[in-house]
Amino acid sequence: MKKYFFLLAMLCSVALIQAQTVSVTVEEGGLRAALVEKAGETDGILNAISDLTIAGTLNITDFYALREIRTALTRIDLSKVTAISGREIPWPGFNQFSDLATVLLPETPGVVTTIGEAAFSFLPKLKTIEIPEGVTTIGGSVFRDSGIESLVLPNTVTSLGREVFAGCTALKSIILSENLTAIPDNAFNGCSELASLSIPEGVKTIGGTAFQNARKLKTVELPSTLEELYNQTFRNATALETVTIYADVPPKYDALWPLFRNIDLSKATLYVPASENGTVLEAYKSAEGWNAFWTEEFTNIKEFKYEQSILEGFEDIAVKFGDVLVFPTQTDQELPVTYTIEEGKEAVATLAGNKLTVTGAGEVQITATQAGNLFYSEFEKTITVTATATDYSWLLAPAIDYEGDIARVVGPGGTTAIFTKFYVGGTEVPLTGGAADISGATGTIELKATTADGKQVIRLVIKR
């Protein structure tokens, strides 16, 4: 009997802590009580919750309450949270939930301005997350060893903590905020799937081993504002092929170990801004760290130039109804071109790719865009296409008509007066007031009118 009672008690306990979907609206400090009311607790610990939606206002006590949830949480939705005390996701955030795959942060800008240290670290199932506008600070190790694959940082972000993306072995794509001034130590250390990265203008420093062990990193763009890099920034980034830097003055590097340690730079190229007499290139050839691209064995520092690519034949043009224009898909430098059409002009023309079809009369603007590359600057050019209606005036030209025994030269205005001679079956007959007598003609007959000199002729073949 005792065995059955014990088994029943265990089954009841398991039932109580099965994963649940829970939604609560709370005020600061009230989260734990709300979760107990909805999900219950076992032995003083909140029962397992797999999907949690929270609305209302939160403080740090509420984040501590989350720590009492059993580790089954896979989704948490904070999008309707309207205020957080301190406007911060505090340490250690959500990193206890190893199955967490979806996190929705407050959608109202400014509710969160700081994401605290390690908030999303060690979450292997978290593939992406939307960082809301208004976040200014992302703390140290926030995404360390997480499963993040892609990320866009809003331009409100001004500060990143050290090791912020370290160990993100699935990270393939990231767009950084345009308002950063520094890339911290070990920021992308171990990001083994990251193949390319553009550091935005405004960044002045890049920390030590920032790209260490980013073993698939092939291309890096460094801004004109960069002033200094620290210890072994690119250590073990062994796939590196292209480094493009826009700074005229080589950024300072003063460390014991090489800037590009353990990289075969004979297979890589450093692109620097072109300058008069090559003074910038010469500076990089002798600058500490950068001079590793210029040795007795190989000379892999090259200049890039910002020149305007050319799109021949893309000019204002006059067309007619029914015309089809095909614009070039590439510039003369073989750079791809895309086209857009002025909105609301479907009655004048339609655009499909690079093919413009004229549908009526009027004007429409077409814009060509080329994104540019290392050697050519981007450009955008707009032309005006002026379409006219089809000319049907030929339908009003002089002609021969007949009714009964009378043939006439007909046409608009005075266009008939120039025809002074008339022939029936090759025989000239009198033409009086533009009319001729054809009463004696039968069978298949050619009627012909000409000018006095015979240079302009109109004909009509009839059968009677």
| pLDDT tens track for 229-271 | 999 999 999 999 999 999 999 999 998 899 999 999 999 999 9
| Residue that has been written with the tokens 């413009």 in this structure | 356
Res 322 pLDDT > 60: yes
| Residue that has been written with the tokens 């990231």 in this structure | 174
- Cβ(235)–Cβ(213) below 8 Å: yes
- CA separation for the pair 397, 410 (Å, rounded): 9
Q: Residue 74: its pLDDT value, please? A: 94
- Cβ(240)–Cβ(214) below 8 Å: no
Last residue of a domain, one of 359, 388, 417: 388
Q: Residue 215: its pLDDT value, please? A: 97
Over its C-alpha atoms, the chain yields an Rg (Å, rounded) of 39
State whether 357 and 415 are in the same domain: no
Q: Is residue 413 part of a domain?
A: yes
Q: Is residue 13 part of a domain?
A: no
Greater confidence (408 vs 12) lies with: 408
Q: Residue 171: its pLDDT value, please? A: 98
Q: Residue 392: its pLDDT value, please? A: 55
Mean pLDDT of 271-285: 93
- CA separation for the pair 419, 408 (Å, rounded): 11
Strand 228-229 relative to strand 252-253, pairing: parallel
Residue 338 sits in a domain whose CATH number is: 2.60.40.10
State whether 321 and 368 are in the same domain: yes
Last residue of a domain, one of 388, 405, 435: 388
Mean pLDDT of 363-384: 86
- CA separation for the pair 448, 461 (Å, rounded): 9
Res 196 pLDDT > 60: yes
Distances in Å between the Cα of 91 and the Cα atoms of 127, 185, 390, 460 are 20, 20, 72, 97
Res 361 pLDDT > 80: yes
In which band, very low, low, confident or very high, does the pLDDT at 176 lie, cut at 50, 70 and 90?
very high
pTM of the model: 0.66
Q: Is residue 433 part of a domain?
A: yes
Q: Residue 9: its pLDDT value, please? A: 41
Q: Is residue 78 part of a domain?
A: no
Q: Is residue 284 part of a domain?
A: no
| Residue that has been written with the tokens 């265990």 in this structure | 10
State whether 398 and 441 are in the same domain: yes
In which band, very low, low, confident or very high, does the pLDDT at 442 lie, cut at 50, 70 and 90?
confident
In which band, very low, low, confident or very high, does the pLDDT at 414 lie, cut at 50, 70 and 90?
low
State whether 383 and 325 are in the same domain: yes
State whether 379 and 314 are in the same domain: yes
pLDDT digit string, tens, across residues 60-101:
999 999 988 876 899 999 999 999 999 999 988 898 899 999
The number of distinct structural domains making up the chain is: 2
In the 3-class helix/strand/coil scheme, how is the chain assigned residue by residue? CHHHHHHHHHHHHHHHCCCCEEEEEECCCCHHHHHHHHHCEECCEECCCCEEEEEEEECHHHHHHHCCCCCCCCEEEEEEEEEEHHHEECCCCCCCCCCCCEEECCCCCCCCCEECCCCCCCCCCCCCCCCCCCCCEECCCCCCCCCCCEEECCCCCCEECCCCCCCCCCCCEEECCCCCCEECCCCCCCCCCCCEEECCCCCCEECCCCCCCCCCCCEEEECCCCCEECCCCCCCCCCCCEEEECCCCCCEECCCCCCCCCCCHHHCEEEEECCHHHHHHHHHHHCCCHHHHECCCCECEEEECCEECCCCCCCCEEEECCCEEECCCECCCCCECEEEECCCCCCCEEEECCEEEECCCEEEEEEEEECCCCCEECEEEEEEEEEECCCCHHHHCCEEEEECCEEEEECCCCCCCCCCEEEECCEEECCECCEEECCCCCCEEEEEEECCCCCCEEEEEEEC
Return the closest-CA partner of residue 52 out of 102, 18, 17, 98.
102
Q: Residue 412: its pLDDT value, please? A: 74
Q: Is residue 338 part of a domain?
A: yes
State whether 408 and 435 are in the same domain: yes
Structure tokens at 286: 């002798």
- In whole numbers, what is the pLDDT of the chain averaged over residues? 89
State whether 398 and 365 are in the same domain: no
Q: Residue 48: its pLDDT value, please? A: 83
Q: Residue 413: its pLDDT value, please? A: 65
Q: Residue 172: its pLDDT value, please? A: 97
Return the closest-CA partner of residue 459 out of 369, 373, 399, 397.
399
In which band, very low, low, confident or very high, does the pLDDT at 403 lie, cut at 50, 70 and 90?
confident
Structure tokens at 233: 């920034």
Q: Is residue 320 part of a domain?
A: yes
- Cβ(193)–Cβ(215) below 8 Å: no
- CA separation for the pair 163, 138 (Å, rounded): 11
What is the percent of the chain where pLDDT is above 90? 66
Domain carrying residue 312 = 308-388
Res 330 pLDDT > 70: yes
Res 14 pLDDT > 50: no
pLDDT digit string, tens, across residues 332-349:
778 899 999 999 999 999
Q: Is residue 428 part of a domain?
A: yes
Greater confidence (8 vs 210) lies with: 210
Q: Residue 306: its pLDDT value, please? A: 64
Res 309 pLDDT > 80: no
Last residue of a domain, one of 367, 388, 409: 388
- CA separation for the pair 251, 70 (Å, rounded): 50
State whether 316 and 350 are in the same domain: yes
Residue 148, amino acid: I
Q: Residue 101: its pLDDT value, please? A: 96
